[in-house]
Chain A
Amino acid sequence: MGSITLEKVSKSFGTTNVIPEIDLEIADGEFVVFVGPSGCGKSTLLRIIAGLEDVTSGTIRIDGTDATHEAPAKRGLSMVFQSYALYPHMSVYGNIAFPLKMAGEDKSAIDDKVRSAARVLNLTDYLDRKPRQLSGGQRQRVAIGRAIVRQPKAFLFDEPLSNLDAALRVNMRLEISELHHQLKTTMIYVTHDQVEAMTMADKIVVLNAGRIEQVGSPLELYRNPKNLFVAGFIGSPKMNLIDGAAAAREKAATIGVRPEHIVLSKTEGPWQGKVTVVEHLGADTFVHVDVDGVGSVTARAPGEFPVKHGERVFLTPEAEKLYRFAENGEAL
């Protein structure tokens, strides 16, 4: 109930090839996140799965049956859009009831389902309101409500949190994760925010220019990035990527070391440099250092690290947490 398979799916708009052949397996009940920079084709891929875009070639299977040319409504998927796409002239109740009404269910069944969905999403008090009378987070929940009443095989989320403010985003992130644990339905979630990807996903699909760079669990991607792109994309702050002489010493074209794998010291270490910017976050301190002969490096010190702009510090990258990349960007 809810496994999705893409076989050699490709998509072109005119002569521009946005997605060269992609193969992907999504198991039932998985929370899969498509992540990548804007314009990498992740939304297009989601819309192809939804049926809102045709594939140029390839096959989409949902629960084993070929759904490549099936109409969106017939695929049994539901989608939450970036703009929420609520129907402005309908009340919250009308919005959530709409897919059921279209499915031709009888009134009392619709009423039961809408009310139980509203209970799950804390919308019971707002059922009579129009979308314009709701806050961003409430609208988001209505959109999710509209998606869950149909009991779809899978949910598709297209950057659903990008219109919310930071605090609400963290909240909704938790709510969606909780919802996934409750419903145990397959979810596919598109975002450009790697923090959302890391915190919510069972499986992350990193996309770049329409290609899948790597597929894996969040920690797998964090520990073993397959190439430079994934290494630079996953993790915050970004991994330090260093080339030149320092890399050549490690017999690689580029070496990478995460800020949290660098030990800062005021007295000793193999790298020495001048502090350019210090960011005190309380729990952590991020220090940007212009290291002699290496370049700009970001290091993370746990807790407070008393250092000021212009001071000289010493850095020790942890040798066993050093990533080495070949000329073509692949990990060695």
Chain B
Amino acid sequence: MATLRTRSAARLMMTPAVLTLFVWMIVPLAMTLYFSLLRYNLLMPGMEEWAGTLNYRYFLTDPAFGAALVNTLLLVGGVLLITIVGGTLLALLLDQPFFGQGIVRLLVIAPFFVMPTVSALVWKNMLMHPVYGIFAWIARLFGLQPVDWLANLPLFSVTMIVAWQWLPFATLILLTALQSLDEEQKEAAEMDGAGPISRFIYIVLPHLARAMTVVVLIETIFLLSVFAEILVTTNGGPGYESTNITYLVYAQALLQFDVGGASAGGIVAVILANIVAIFLIRLIGKNLEA
């Protein structure tokens, strides 16, 4: 791409792809923006009228919004915490040489390939069910009252399910990072008198910082939009106890048929996601610089 001619040729060749991507992004966004300013309910077709910022006012002052916002942050934060800590520990474990390493690694990675609805169903009916779930059976084994997970601890349960799905991803990324740690560095630290814990804190953790940043950023993108697990297990309830922003937008659009309100919610969600992204990049983005 040295000469003027090759540069303009490159621009020309890239134009269709860039244009497609741009249209793909801007049309839905513009339509959502437009709908969010209308009074648009599917129960009253053909009666759309200009509503100004009314939809936003209703969405933001809805008590469900505050609850959903807190739930979203708790869910994202909880899953990140579990997957980073658990992923690091699992990666340390899998990095040890042991018999059957390949199969164990495959098993650890398996949950990532199970689709969200399926894993949510498995957790709901096989593990967390208060009557014939495995957890209930274990509780009864010890003579305890089984816990009705999804009714009593709905957000915690959803967090567990999502964390279970994302743990393999974190483990995989952190394991590869761990394997790229120079063996001589560990040996040098050993010669310098660092015990296993000091070696972990001073050598391994700083080395993992960049991989952890990648895990946090990628997971956050997906965790802000967790939906299937909630729909399959709790339907956002009881009350709004396990409703996140994504689910709230869905409820607004497809349960209350309020397209205008849902669009306003969607725009709010986009803004929130960007705020989270800015915070994240500020907080940990410096780890990504070489």
Contacts and interface: CB of A to CB of B under 8 A. Distances in A.
Contact of A78 (B191, B198, B207, B209): B191
A73 B193 CA distance: 4
A52 interface: yes
A46 to B, nearest CB: 12
Given A87-B202, A89-B206, A89-B207, A81 B192 contact: no
A72 B187 CA distance: 9
Contact of B191 (A77, A83, A86, A103): A77
Residue of B182, B189, B193, B206 contacting most chain A CB atoms (<10 Å): B193
A79 B191 contact: yes
A88 B185 CA distance: 9
Interface string A38-79: 000000000000101000000000000000000111000111
B188 interface: yes
Interface string B189-205: 11111100010001100
A98 interface: yes
Nearest to B290: A132
Contacts of A71: 190
A284 B8 CA distance: 60
Contacts of A73: 190-194
A102 B199 CA distance: 10
A99 interface: yes
Interface in B208-245: 209
B198 A81 contact: no
Given A81-B184, A82-B184, A72 B190 contact: yes
A148 to B, nearest CB: 12
B286 to A, nearest CB: 12
Contacts of B203: 87
A103 B193 contact: yes
A71 B182 CA distance: 20
A141 interface: no
A146 interface: yes
- Majority secondary structure, B binding face: helix
Interface string A207-234: 0000000000000000000000000000
A85 B207 contact: no
A250 B156 CA distance: 91
A102 B193 contact: yes
Contacts of B207: 88-89
Contacts of A79: 187-188, 191
A174 to B, nearest CB: 25
Given A73-B193, A102-B198, A81 B206 contact: no
A81 B189 CA distance: 11
Residue of A86, A87, A88, A99 contacting most chain B CB atoms (<10 Å): A87
B207 to A, nearest CB: 7
Contact of A99 (B182, B187, B193, B206): B193
Residue of B188, B194, B206 contacting most chain A CB atoms (<10 Å): B188
Given A89-B207, A102-B193, A102-B194, A81 B187 contact: yes
Nearest to A52: B187
Residue of A50, A78, A89, A146 contacting most chain B CB atoms (<10 Å): A89
A115 to B, nearest CB: 18
Interface string A192-204: 0000000000000
A83 B193 contact: no
Residue of A83, A86, A102 contacting most chain B CB atoms (<10 Å): A102
Contacts of A82: 184
Nearest to B207: A89
Nearest to A74: B193
B213 to A, nearest CB: 13
Contacts of A87: 185, 188-189, 202-203, 206
Contacts of B185: 85-87
Given A87-B203, A89-B206, A89-B207, A98 B184 contact: no
Contact of A52 (B190, B202, B209): B190
Given A87-B202, A89-B206, A98-B202, A81 B188 contact: yes
B191 A72 contact: yes
A98 B192 contact: yes
Nearest to A94: B202
Nearest to B209: A89
A78 B189 CA distance: 10
A330 to B, nearest CB: 38
A54 to B, nearest CB: 13
B219 to A, nearest CB: 23
Contacts of A150: 192-193
A81 B190 CA distance: 13
B92 to A, nearest CB: 19
A73 B198 CA distance: 13
A85 B206 contact: no
Nearest to A81: B184
B190 A83 contact: no
In the A-B complex, the 7 residue pairs with the smallest Cβ-Cβ separation, listed nearest first, are: A73-B193, A85-B188, A99-B192, A85-B184, A102-B193, A89-B206, A81-B184
Given A83-B184, A86-B185, 4 more contacts: A73-B194, A88-B207, A98-B202, A103-B193
Interface of A: 50, 52, 71-73, 77-79, 81-83, 85-89, 98-99, 102-103, 146, 150
Interface of B: 182, 184-185, 187-194, 198, 202-203, 206-207, 209
24 contacts: A50-B191, A52-B187, A72-B187, A73-B190, A73-B191, A73-B193, A79-B191, A81-B188, A83-B184, A85-B184, A85-B185, A85-B187, A86-B188, A87-B185, A87-B189, A88-B207, A89-B206, A89-B207, A99-B192, A102-B192, A102-B194, A103-B193, A146-B188, A146-B192
